[in-house]
Amino acid sequence: MMHTLVTGGAGFLGSHLADRLIREGHFVICMDNLITGNMDNIAHLIGHERFKFIKHDVTEYIYVEGRLDNILHFASPASPIDYLQLPIQTLKVGSLGTHKALGLAKAKKSRFLLASTSECYGDPLIHPQPETYFGNVNPIGPRGVYDEAKRFAEAMTMAYHRYHGVDTKIVRIFNTYGPRMRLNDGRVVPAFMSQALKNEDLTIFGDGQQTRSFCFVSDLVDGIFRLLMSDNEHEPVNIGNPHEMTILEFAQEVQKIAGSNLNIRHMPLPQDDPKVRQPDITKASKLLGWAPKVGFDEGFKATYAYFKNKLGL
């Protein structure tokens, strides 16, 4: 039985990963300081014989008793509203937190998987984005605290692999949605859905022609698990759904499922907001035999039903 630590394990992605790992027979240790994580996400796992929760800030020294086979480092604010409100914490968890987690992996001889992000590509000048693209990031802009924290984390992870021989993996995660997202986390999926359920205007930043590629959470988790279990790949791998749509098209899909012709309100585009975002998943396809399976309509309806239930509607 593998023993696996998930930092940020009470978050949206971390909790879904914990579910998958337990289904695969792992003993899962979930570590979270609950700044943006939520115990509701893992309430169903409390008391499970192969699950343990530790409340801890990973920017401090990490102690875990016994052996660890895998460490998945997912601790970080991940939505714009979070990292703009928590800029220092975001930088610290990407730097100090990654250093502490890698130090633990070295000491325990664990396999280490870093949750990186498509934000490493910034506002890209190459489309779609392959892993070989170095990105177009403003390091001193408001989004730089997240972008550069993750880019530093990737550099630190590769340094531990090359210098200390730690078995490392890096996943660059593209826009993901599904149950357990926070209604108020500022990302477009929960924002539009909560506005629709409250019969409010749908807020679009800019003209709505900027694009995103939405991956359902179960598909993302499957790709991450396959990467964790794979051998001989240590450089970044994109995981995301290459189906691209404009924000305006997404708003129209929300109107359709809500059964209401909600008004659309345009707001100024935030600084450094990416104009396009689409993963090149050739590497994941060849290396992992992975491709997304959940269609947009199916995932969208499941997520809408989740938010509707959360709002008691």
The whole-number pLDDT of residue 260 equals 73
Cβ contact 104:113 at 8 Å: no
- What digits encode the pLDDT tens for the residues 281-300? 999 999 999 999 999 999 99
Cβ contact 214:247 at 8 Å: no
The yes-or-no answer on residue 63 being catalytic is: no
Report d(CA 40, CA 257) in Å as an integer. Answer: 26
Query: Residue 48: pLDDT band by 50, 70, 90 thresholds?
Result: very high
Q: Which domains does the chain have, with CATH numbers?
A: 3-176+217-239 (3.40.50.720), 177-212+243-278+293-307 (3.90.25.10)
- What digits encode the pLDDT tens for the residues 51-92? 999 999 999 999 999 999 999 999 999 998 999 999 999 999
- Which one of 83, 146, 160, 304 is the catalytic residue? 146
Query: Residue 263: pLDDT band by 50, 70, 90 thresholds?
Result: confident
Amino acid at the residue 278: Q
Q: For residue 240, give the nearest of 150, 139, 171, 304 by alpha carbon.
A: 171
Report d(CA 303, CA 208) in Å as an integer. Answer: 22
- What digits encode the pLDDT tens for the residues 213-256? 999 999 999 999 999 999 989 999 999 999 999 999 999 988 88
Report d(CA 66, CA 1) in Å as an integer. Answer: 13
0.85 exceeded by pTM: yes
